[in-house]
Structures are given as structure tokens and as C-alpha cells.
Amino acid sequence: MKSADIRARLGVRPVINVAGTMTALGASIVLPEAVETVGAILSEFVEIDDLQRKASAAIARLCQAEAGLVTASCSAGITLGVAGAMTGADLAAVERLPDTAGLKNEVAILAGHMVSYGAPVEQAIRLAGARVVPVGQATSAHAYQLAGALTERTAAVVYVISHHTVRYGMPPLAEFAQIARAKGVPVIVDAASEYDLRGPLAAGADLALYSSHKFLGGPTGGIVAGRRDLVRAAFLQNSGIGRGMKIGKEGIAGTIAALEAWERRDHAAVRARESETLRLWLDALQGRPGVTAVIVPDPTDNPLDRLQVAVEPNAAHITAWDLADRLASGSRPVIVRDHEIEHGHFFLDPCNLHPGEDTVVTARLVEELDRALASNEIIATSVSARRARRIRSRLAWPD
């Protein structure tokens, strides 16, 4: 930790993030190139539409798209993409939203894709004034169900690529897109956390949406890439519902910088460094009673591995969630990836670490596991109580 750490000045805890790119933790480490760009533009005036035009060219190049737009977030991109699919270039309709009278206003989405990324996907659709039409069931959906859901009122379909979604029993994107396109319905793909900037459009998406602040290491923002008319229609929402979701010059310029850095990045070197970190943690956990660690691939095939750490409470004297909570406590909190914690495991994500933090993570793991092992009783609180405590804590904000 740098002595001039901004977090000490603000009185917030210096988090070590092994959870992944989480909005609740500040998303990602913004790249030096983006930090420099953000700092340089903040005190200058620019013509925002022209800056967006430059962003469009950068996005078009990287995503092999006709055009692109920077939004406040990927979530805003869903809302504005859907809004644009409804209004097209009708400025009066843009100003009438979320009233959709006279417009196509239905948006179909697989039931297995109706997930929460911190907020419900379908709420981002409804925010535009659209009506959500779920397709299939939570764990299965068929082509005929999608075809049957598309009517003359359908404005768009939304497809989500994420570790959150159900990933069996669902039509793959290419099949999903083919069915929608055969009926002239635009396909909007939420690929917020995906490294592949070209795959979704190549598989038939009309719009592909990304977060600037996730794997790209940009400032908070969203990227809308795809068909020129649909990107333009999303842009036009800035004089309507998009106003409350506006992105500033720093977010647009910082996103351009992050995209350009992505083009130049030595991806193999990043991967090698992450693998080294995973080996370090794996070695430290090897042979510890009740602890089973394995390197697992990313569930949506991003070029990224994580360490899955399973904790057997009788042997380790602690549950996975109690260990996670202890790691997250104190003056040097280590926050693990815990969305599957009730299965008795968590993940360590190596992609958001500053140099030297990997060894702090090792030391904290060893410290808490040793302490648990030395305890005479098994540390096992209720996982339901933990969930309830988290909700209570949110409801008590700001105390």
C-alpha cells in the first residue's frame, strides 16, 4: 500500500480485490493511459458529439462494427439500445419515452437470462418504457418459443452473455439471432464482462454492449457497438431518457484510451502473470486440512482462470463463508468472489491485483486458516443469516 493512499485520506478501507471486476468494489484498476487521458481532458472544453464521433471510430475499429457510442454504463446501454430500437430517429418519440404509445414496445428475453448484475437486466429494459416478454423457462428455452414470442409489436430481443445466466438448455447466440433476424427484429447482446469484442456481432448481434470499467480497465462507462442506425438511435436518446444517464467527457475520452490500450496490450504476458499468481495461491493452500483448491476456467470462456477454494468445515474448522467474512474483516480486507458460497467454495480472481498484493492474499489465507484450525470449535454460522445481515446492512445505510 502506498503511503499516500487516497483511501486513507477518505477514511475508507484499503480493499484487496480478488472478487473480479465488481461495481461494488470500484470495478477495475483503471489503466495508466486512461488515467492520464481523464486527467488531461477534465479541465478542457470539447464538442461532446464530436468526441463521441471519435469514440465511434475507435469502437467500430475494435469491435468490427459500423458505429459505436459511449454511455454511462453497460446498464445504460441496455436501456438506450432498447429505447433506440423503439423510437428509431423519431425525435418526438425520443422525447415522449417512456410513453411508448404508437411504437413497437415489446422486448423478448430468455427467462434464463433474466439475471441480476447488481440490478435486474429486465429493469434496464423496462426503464425505456418497453414491456418485457420472457421466453421459455428458467432452465430451458427452445427456438419455437422464441419464434412464438416475436410479434408485430416486438421492438428488439435481448441476449445476455454472463456467468450469471443459466448456460444449459438455452439456444446459443447464433441460433437466437437467426430467429430474430428472420423476423426483422434487432438483436441486442449484453456482453458487459466479455473479452471478445467481435464475437457477438459476428454471431449475429445488431448491437453488442460492454462495460468500459471491467476487463478493458477504463473509467466507468458503457460501450454500444453495432449497426449504424441503431447506434445513432441510441445516441439520440441523449435528448430524452438518456440525459439522466449521461457520460461526461472524461468517461468518453477515457474509454477511447482504454480501447486503444486494449489493442496494444500484451495479453499473453497478462495471462502469464495471472497464472503465476494462481500457482502461488495453489501452493500455499496445498495439503491444508479441509481445503481443496483447483484452477478453473472462466465459465463464459474468457481467457482467464480463477482458483476455486473449497472448504470442508469439519476438517478446516471453518465454513467457506465464515472464512470469506474473516478475510474481508480488519484493516487490510481481502474480498473474495463468493456468489456460489453456499456450495462451500469461493473463488480467487487474479486479474485486479497491484504488484505485491498476491502475497498479502496468501498471508491472510494462511493466517485465517491457521487460526481456525487452532480453534476448539468449528466456526460455522448460518449462511442464511449472512445473507439477511447483508440486506440489513444495506437498509441501514448510511447509518
Ligand X SMILES: *Cc1c(COP(=O)(O)O)cnc(C)c1O
Which residues lie near ligand X (CB under 6 A)? Answer: 23, 73-75, 117, 160, 162, 190, 192-193, 211, 222
CB nearer ligand X, residue 105 or residue 211: 211
CB nearer ligand X, residue 118 or residue 398: 118
Locus of grid cell 432452465: 139
Rounded to whole angstroms, the Cα distance separating 193 from 70 reads: 16
C-alpha cell at 321: 463463508
Residue 59 C-beta: closest distance to ligand X, Å: 15
Rounded to whole angstroms, the Cα distance separating 244 from 229 reads: 22
CB nearer ligand X, residue 80 or residue 316: 80
222-226 and 207-211 beta bridge pairing: antiparallel
Residue 201 C-beta: closest distance to ligand X, Å: 17
Residue 216 C-beta: closest distance to ligand X, Å: 11
Residue 190 C-beta: closest distance to ligand X, Å: 5
Contact of 68 with 60, CB cutoff 8 Å: yes
CB nearer ligand X, residue 73 or residue 255: 73
> Within 317-356, where are the H helices?
320-327
Residue 207 C-beta: closest distance to ligand X, Å: 13
CB nearer ligand X, residue 54 or residue 163: 163
Q: What is the DSSP string of 10-23?
A: HT----EEES-SBG
CB nearer ligand X, residue 23 or residue 123: 23
Residue 223 C-beta: closest distance to ligand X, Å: 9
Query: Is residue 118 classed exposed, middle or buried when 0-12, 13-18 and 19+ CB atoms within 10 A define those classes?
Result: exposed
Locus of grid cell 500484451: 266
Query: Which of 231, 237, 253 is CA-nearest to residue 60?
Result: 231
Exposed e or buried b per residue across 365-380, where buried means at least 16 C-beta atoms within 10 angstroms of its C-beta = beebbeebeeeeeebe
Locus of grid cell 433476424: 181
CB nearer ligand X, residue 70 or residue 336: 70
Residue 22 C-beta: closest distance to ligand X, Å: 9
Beta-ladder partners of 296: 306
Rounded to whole angstroms, the Cα distance separating 120 from 335 reads: 23
Contact of 43 with 54, CB cutoff 8 Å: no
CB nearer ligand X, residue 103 or residue 247: 247
Residue 116 C-beta: closest distance to ligand X, Å: 9
CB nearer ligand X, residue 77 or residue 313: 77
Rounded to whole angstroms, the Cα distance separating 47 from 53 reads: 10
Q: What is the DSSP string of 63-74?
A: HT-SEEEEES-H
Residue 24 C-beta: closest distance to ligand X, Å: 10
